[in-house]
Structures are given as C-alpha cells and as structure tokens.
Amino acid sequence: MGTDAIRPDAISLDGKVAIVTGGAGGIGAATARRMTARGARVAIADIAMARAEALAHQIPGAIALALDLGDETSIAAMIAAAHAHFGRLDILHNNAALLGPEAQADTDIESMDTALWDKTYAVNVRGTMLACRAALPHLRVSKGNIVNTVSNLALQGHIIQAAYSSSKAAIIQMTRAIAASHGRHGIRCNAVAPGMTMTPALREAFPPALRATVEGETLRDQLGEAEDIAEAAAFLASDAARNITGHVLVSDGGCASHVPGLAGFRAFFGEQV
C-alpha cells in the first residue's frame, strides 16, 4: 500500500491544464478564474465564442475554443485543440448544459415536448459522454481527472425541469461508471451538485418570489455564488482530493439536507430557529 503523504500545497493546480466547458459565463467563468488562480492553464470552451474569447483575454494563459455539445465533431475537435495547444490535459470540467430561454419549456412529463427532451439529453448526457470519451486517453497519460457539474435537482423530485434534472441524474451515474472503470488507470471522476446559484443570468431572469422560496430553504443566510461552486470544482480537481472519486459533492447551502417545509417551521417558531 502507498504511504505518500499529501503535499502541503496539494490544493494547488500548478502545471495542470484544464478544460472548462460552458466556460464563458456563470459557474464556468468563475471556475476558469479559480483554476487559473490555483496555477492551471485553462481552455475556455463554449458555444458563445465571442464571450469565451473576451474572458480568455482577461485570464493569463487562457485560450478560447468553440464548442457545440450537440455536435460530436465539435467536441472531438475541442479536446484535440486544447491538447495540441498545451501539450497535455489534466482536468476536464464538464460544466456546459442546455439552459436559457429554450429550456424554460422544460416542465413536467405530461407537458414535455419530445424534441426538447431529446435535445436536453443530446446536449447534457451525450455531449458530456463524448467529451469524456475524447479526453480519457489524455487523462490516462497525465493521471488526470474529470469534474462534472450536475445539480441538486438530480437528487430530488420537483414539479419543473423534468428533462434537465433527469439528464443530470444520468451524468451522476456516468460519473460513477467512469470512476469505477478508469480508477486503476489513475483517473478520478467526481461531480459537484449546485443548488440555486446566483449567477448574473439567474439574477436577471429568475422570479423574485421563487428566489425567496429557495432562500427560505437555505441553511445559510444567502444563496450560493458562482465562486462557491468554482471553489468546490477546483478542490475536486486538485491532488488534495486524491482519495475522492465517484462522489457527488452537493454545494447547495444545505437545501437538500433537511426535511421538507423547513422554511414553514422557521416561520412558525420564529427566526431564532
């Protein structure tokens, strides 16, 4: 059995190369910044190429790469381009997903549009699988790792986002499958599951009344920020997490940790609870 001690600087990503998909904004942009601050060189991969390029200009050593998760050729080309540019690949952070105005029609199963369901799975599940498949040969060489962004909705039932939440649950199982099948190749695979996270897009688009509902179920005094999820992803990608694989790290301010209706009980007993 190995007895190597964890280095004091194990949380550092010095010398590592990371790809962050969906990296042009929100959690992806925060993660690209955090991993760079820890010493990594980062490829920002996104379908919004102009935004990706603008962010890459702000981050030392970063590059922007075009990525369409619905296009197998685009995914393979993105992985190949990152490896060709940096000469190695250590971290794949699968953060991109189908969101935005199109996904607002994602409600319950009875109302589900088949095309939206298929596209959600094509982008979120198939796209993530294809990125992992293309990256794994490079990660085997570097003894690298994968961090998938999922959601606390993948662990709980809800009245909306049936396609999104079930696709993220599929990625959790994919995370475990990769961890099991490639662990002895030196590859780790984990997932971070955010709750409602106050990205700029969410602040602009999410109804205040629904936001207040989630805030009421949060055990902190505020909702999480993109930087909170970035910190969790950077930790999982680091050698400090070398003994963690096949794991889902929930970062939702405690929303998934308690009995339903906590907000109502808090109101009944008073704010001292």
Question: Catalytic annotation on 164?
Answer: yes
Least confident stretch, 89-103, 174-188, 212-226, 237-251? 212-226
- At 1 the pLDDT is 46
At 55-113, the pLDDT tens digits run: 999 999 999 999 999 999 999 999 999 999 999 999 999 999 998 777 788 889 999 99
Taking the domains of the chain in order of start, what are their residue ranges? Answer: 17-269
**Has domain 17-269 been given CATH number 3.40.50.720?**
yes
Question: Once rounded to an integer, what is the mean pLDDT over residues 244-268?
Answer: 86
pTM for the whole thing?
A: 0.92
Question: Once rounded to an integer, what is the mean pLDDT over residues 111-133?
Answer: 96
Cβ atoms 24, 46 nearer than 8 A: yes
The active-site residue, picked from 44, 164, 187, 252, is 164
